[in-house]
Structure 1
Amino acid sequence: MNKLIFIFSFLILQSCATINSKPIVEKPRILISSDIGGTDPDDFQSMIHLLMYSDLFQIEGLVSSPFGNGRKKDILDMIDLYEKDLPELKPQFPNLTHPDSLRAVCKQGTKLEAPYKGYDTATEGSEWIIKCAKNTTDQPLWVLVWGGLEDLAQALHDAPEIEKNIKVYWIGGPNKKWSINAYSYIVKNHPNLWIIEANSTYRGWFMDTESPKELKGKSYYNNYIQGRGALGKNFKNHYEGEIKMGDTPSLAYLMNGDPNNPIGESWGGSFTPIKHSSRTIFEGNSSKKDTVAAYAELEWRFKGPDLPIPQDSTCFTLEISNQTWPGYYLGNGIYGVRYSSKKPETGSYFTKSAIPELDAQRGQFVSITPWPGKTTPNDYPLGSNWYSDKPAPDLFIGDQQGAKTISKHREAYLMDWAKRWQSINK
């Protein structure tokens, strides 16, 4: 009898514990692909932010995917600084990730942009994306892309089955311009990928026209960061401490709000599903009469000699606004080059080549918002999980589509970060 009473009492206690306990929320699994150390120093700022919030995530990969001189060492250097400040951060945030765990998942990705076909050869970074995506778990792997899509495109090419296991938040805009061939491969071959393509929304993170004075980009460093540890000292090296961190919205998206609902509110913005990705093919030159969507894929194709060279050979260059893009041989005497405008613009271009038919070609175009604009015959059709910047006029800041869906949360996320800085003594 006493044994039965004991068993009954134990079951009641277990039931009460289940009712009163909160469900365990798993930390999001994330992999960062960053062009840190490349053409834009803002990734260093974003990496500092990530490390200071590492307790909120399962960080499975830190991949160096640079345009320019950036390398895996740039990530490792930031982890070394984080390790110096960790003793002061730990008392208030005891679950911050151990530096050695972070070092173990640093990988070197591609160092060059993809050729016309959109992929090239596997890298340590692309293989790590595949490995992490194939890990058996109920959670998706969030691939947060802070630069070009090359390593992601390579991973999807080499292991297309991982598409169903990943969710992507990509900071597009200027990164799309430099990564247009990899983007073209993904959008054409993986239209059902779950992805947020943030071409302009992310700019609300650092466009501070509506912020209180103490939170403006030039004030925040002086008020909350200056003099605080090794990380604070390093922060001053990038944009002289002025807040940019243009890639951080991808992380903030997972910190506040429901990440499975891109149309809802979050620190990383609010988005809308899009059914097509805008694409225009010009057979020959374009003119100022040609109007396209900003952030669209533009492609110029020129006729030339049918040369006995491999497809994807670089044969000419196209220059717009003092920046140069490689043009490729497509076969059968056809040559092509792709470009994407990072904002509304009137663009002028010219070509250079040792092949006379490809040299000194000139033209213009006009790109406008909202993206993705009206459908055209060459657009890429998309599945049901491709999201991008909201087009409502009242959500623009200047010409930046959707930016107010982030800027409205500026005080909340910056003051949350300020609390973490305050745990590091001056």
Structure 2
Amino acid sequence: MLRKKIKYLFILLIVFSITVSCKSIVEKEQSSTSEVSYIKPRIINTTDLGADPDDEQSMVRQLVSANEFDIEGLIVATGCWKKSQNNTDMLDKLVEAYSQAYPNLKIHADGYPSPEHLRSISVMGQDEYGMADVGSGKDSPGSELIIQAVDKDDPRPVWVMGWGGMNTVAQAIWKVQETRSPAEFEKFLGKLRLFDILGQGDSGAWIAKNFPEVFYIRATEVYGWAPSDEYIDKHIQSHGPLGAAYPDRKYATEGDTPAFMHVYPTGLNDPEQIEQGGWGGRFSFAKKEGIRSMSCVEKENETKYDPYYMYGNTAEGSEAIKRWRSEAYNNDFAARMDWSITEDYSDANHHPVAVLNGDQTRQVLKIKAAPGSTVALSAAGSSDPDGNAISYSWSFYDEPSSYDGPVKIQNSSSHSATVEIPEDAGNKSIHVILEVHDDGEPNLYAYRRVIISVN
């Protein structure tokens, strides 16, 4: 009897061991192939398509990156370089090019919106220029779409990007103020995030003057980072229907791209915290008075709203974009263009996954430390979906850090690093960036940021 019991227990032990091992293998496989979680930004574009080829260029980059966002509006509007619009034909052609690339794109990443969805949100905004086209009887499909997006039962803010003028969102604001209670209007404004490229009309100044509580960025340092004509010719324009839709440069390349790059969920930054800096640049929470629009805007049309205040670029200007290496943001574009013409997942490169201290999201991490202490940081668990070798780099990001001095990082090119907290760093913050890149073709990058608060 005793012998039978021992044999029975032995069999149970073997079964248990096999079960645990299988479970461990399954969990390991699931963790290595699961999508890293992140919060998609909600975005709406207003674009003065036809004023300059750079709007079409930026739209191609955004469409090929569309899985990273919840795109809720593509609105054709006006600006000082194109003061009237009457159709969405140019936008429709770009969405049609996307529809041809869509079957391939969705093989390489989840989350790409259907062409039908993009067609449903491709609408006209204000068809005339500036504040002259804002007010009673001036509602447009675009202004109505903005209102509907903000009204959705969704806690995420809505980023409205002005690639031309801002009068379509101005019309939305005007209507909500006229038709709702003060409390309802305040709630509406609280969900808006406005990102204005260069200022291309007087409506931005009107918004900033009359509604100073609105989150309003006017980016004026948007050039100098873009790929060369040769790079575009080789890696973008030669790639299928979307490449063919990317026009040659007339003036500057992709001047509107920093708008959506600011909210691009790379792991570098929280777009709400504009001083952190990311692919779209870095901005100051100290509002600036009278950030003027481009030369095509009549000066008196903005000065009549003086003083008005907006968030603007920090002193680094476009260097805040270029610091992240053209190999990172432009190779991201090139790889996605490869996806658009490649129906086999294994024939293209894909982004590595950066894990920070066991956290597999793309969120900014915050930890506390004491002066004179050391902080251990680990990228263990970082991986590459294609099996490529990955390299690590840890760096101190001086500009957004409140600590103004050198910070030593031991083993800065290893998957595990140690940050030495200076003795004089009390009550200061230290931003450390983890950069992971693979050795695929082209090299692709992933990031994480940790903010160390020194008590």
SS at match of 2:99: helix
- 1:197 and 1:129 map into 2 onto residues whose CA distance is 19
Q: What amino acid sits opposite 2:279 in the alignment?
A: W
With over 3 angstroms needed to count, the CA separation of the structure-2 counterparts of 1:99 and 1:113, relative to structure 1, is: same
- 2:305 and 2:145 map into 1 onto residues whose CA distance is 34
Q: What amino acid sits opposite 1:188 in the alignment?
A: K
Q: How does 1:7-406 map to 2 (within 5 A)?
A: 24-37=37-50, 39-66=51-78, 67=82, 68-69=84-85, 71-115=87-131, 119=135, 121-160=138-177, 161=185, 162-173=188-199, 175=200, 179-180=201-202, 182-199=203-220, 201-206=221-226, 216-235=227-246, 237-239=247-249, 244-255=253-264, 256=266, 257-278=269-290, 295-296=291-292, 337-338=300-301, 379-380=306-307, 382=309, 386-390=310-314, 392=315, 395=316, 402-406=317-321
- 2:36 and 2:334 map into 1 onto residues whose CA distance is 29
Q: What amino acid sits opposite 1:171 in the alignment?
A: I
CA deviation digits over 1:321-375, x for unaligned, max 9? xx685xxxxxxxxxx94268xxxxxxxxxxxxxxxxxxxxxxxxxxxxxxxxxxx
Bigger relative contact order, structure 1 or 2 (CA pairs below 8 A, ≥6 apart)? 1
CA deviation digits over 1:129-164, x for unaligned, max 9? 111111111111111111101101111111142211
Compute the displacement of 1:122 (Å): 1.3
Compute the displacement of 1:71 (Å): 2.9
CA deviation digits over 1:193-217, x for unaligned, max 9? 0121112x212433xxxxxxxxx42
What is the RMSD of the two structures over their aligned residues, measured on CA atoms? 3.0
Report the equivalent of 1:290. Answer: none
Report the equivalent of 2:338. Answer: 422
CA deviation digits over 1:67-112, x for unaligned, max 9? 2446322211111011112222222124211100111111111111
With over 3 angstroms needed to count, the CA separation of the structure-2 counterparts of 1:54 and 1:337, relative to structure 1, is: same
With over 3 angstroms needed to count, the CA separation of the structure-2 counterparts of 1:86 and 1:103, relative to structure 1, is: same
Gaps of 5+ in 1: 1-12, 207-215, 279-294, 299-319, 326-335, 341-376, 396-401
Residues 76 and 106, structure 1, Cα contact 8 Å, conserved in 2: yes
With over 3 angstroms needed to count, the CA separation of the structure-2 counterparts of 1:70 and 1:147, relative to structure 1, is: farther
CA deviation digits over 1:224-247, x for unaligned, max 9? 123210111121x3427x971111
Report the equivalent of 2:413. Answer: none
Compute the displacement of 1:223 (Å): 2.6
- 2:307 and 2:141 map into 1 onto residues whose CA distance is 30
Report the equivalent of 1:343. Answer: none
Compute the displacement of 1:59 (Å): 1.1
Q: What amino acid sits opposite 2:96 in the alignment?
A: D
SS at match of 2:275: coil
Compute the displacement of 1:252 (Å): 0.8
- 1:389 and 1:119 map into 2 onto residues whose CA distance is 31
Q: What amino acid sits opposite 1:423 in the alignment?
A: W
Q: What amino acid sits opposite 1:27 in the alignment?
A: K
Q: What amino acid sits opposite 1:380 in the alignment?
A: P
- 1:197 and 1:73 map into 2 onto residues whose CA distance is 28
Compute the displacement of 1:118 (Å): 5.8
Compute the displacement of 1:117 (Å): 9.1
Deviation larger for 69-78 or 409-418:
69-78
- 1:47 and 1:23 map into 2 onto residues whose CA distance is 26
Gaps of 5+ in 2: 1-22, 178-184, 343-455
With over 3 angstroms needed to count, the CA separation of the structure-2 counterparts of 1:378 and 1:166, relative to structure 1, is: closer
Q: What amino acid sits opposite 1:406 in the alignment?
A: I
Tell me the number of residue pairs that the alignment of Structure 1 and Structure 2 aligns: 294
What's the TM-score once normalised by structure 2's chain length?
0.59
Q: What percentage of aligned pairs have identical amino acids? A: 27
